[in-house]
Amino acid sequence: MKKPELLVTPTSVMDIEPLIEAGATAIMIGEQRYGLRLAGEFKREEIVEAVNIAHSKKVKVYVAMNALFHNDKVPELNEYILFLQEAGVDAIVFGDPAVLMAAREVAPTMKLHWNTETTATNWYTCNYWGRKGAKRAVLARELSMDSIIEIKEHSEVEVEVQVHGMTCMFQSKRSLLGNYFEYQGKVMEIENRKFEKGMFLLDKERNNKYPIFEDENGTHIMSPNDICIIDELSEMIDAEVDVFKIDGVLNTPEYIIEVTKKYRQAIDLCVENREEYENIKDDLLEEIENIQPINRPLDTGFFFKETVY
C-alpha cells in the first residue's frame, strides 16, 4: 500500500525546512499576482530559494498559477512559466486554460495540476483535463468521501484532496474591502493588508466568524470552521488517493508545522500499522483540537454530509 503525498503550504522560506522535518513531502507556494489564497507570498528569488531547499531534501515544489487571468496578464504567462521551468519547480497548479496553453507553447514538459477549487466534481471532468495535459486533479472541497473514492477508482490522473484547513466560500474579483474604505473616504492600500488575519464577517445568530482574505485577486470569504479528518484517513488511503493537502492559509507557521507532524504520524501508522492508527487516531484529533484557535472549531467538511446549495 502506497503512502499519499503530504502537501503543505508554507508561509515563508523560513518555514520550509521545519515543515520537511515535520513530514511534508511536497510544498505549494507562489505569488498572489498569479495564485489564489496563498499562505504566503513568494517572489521569484524566494521561489528559487524554496526549490533549492526542498530539492536538497527530495521534496517537491509546486507553484500556484490558479488565478483567473484577464487579457492584461495573459502576455506575462509565457515568461513566468519559463522562469518556473528554469527554477526547477516540479509542477504548476492551474485553473485557467490560458496557463495550459502557455505551458504547452513554452514548456511542454512542465507538469500541470488542474485546480479550479469548485468544478472537479466527477471523474469525466478530471479525465478531460488529464487528456488535455494535466497530471493531477485537485478535487472540490464539497465532495463526500464516497464521491472521492468513486472518482479515484475511475480517474486517469492523480487525485488530490484537502484534509485540513479552511475553505473558500465566496470570491469576488473586486476589492470589496478596499472599495468600502474608499467609499468612507479612507485610504486602503492592498499591499498593506494582504494576508491580514484580523478581518471577519460576524454571524451573531450562529456565533460564526467568517475570515475575510483580500489579495491582488480580489476578496475571499472563508469558512468559519477548519476541515480535519485525521481520524478518517483509512478509506482514502485504501483507495490510493494520491495526495493529502494541509492548507495553511491564515494560520501561523507554528500551527502548520504541528498539524503536519500529526498527519505524518497518522499516515505512516495507517499504512504501516493500521491497528495502532485506530488506537491513537482519536488522540491525534484531540491534540490538534488543543492547538486550534478558539474561534475556529474543527469539523469534517462535506466528507460525511450532503452538499446543500
φ/ψ bin of 185: left (φ > 0), alpha (ψ from -120 to 50), beta (otherwise): left
Cell readout for 140 is 472540490
Strand partners, 220: 171, 213
In the chain, where are the structural domains located?
Answer: 5-166+223-299, 171-220
pLDDT digits (tens, 9 = 90+) for 165-212: 887 666 666 665 555 555 455 554 434 344 445 566 666 666 667 677
Q: What is the pLDDT of residue 237?
A: 97
Distance CA 258, CA 261 (A): 5
244-298 residue pLDDT tens: 999 988 789 999 999 999 999 999 999 999 999 999 999 999 999 999 988 788 8
The closest alpha carbon to 225, from 291, 167, 282, belongs to 167
DSSP 8-state symbol, 14: G
Q: How confident is the model at residue 220 (pLDDT cuts 50, 70, 90)?
A: low
Q: What is the pLDDT at residue 195?
A: 46
Indicate the CATH number for domain 5-166+223-299.
3.20.20.70
CA distance to 23, 47, 82, 110, 266, per residue, from 36 (Å): 25, 16, 20, 20, 29
Whole-number percent of the chain with pLDDT over 70 = 83
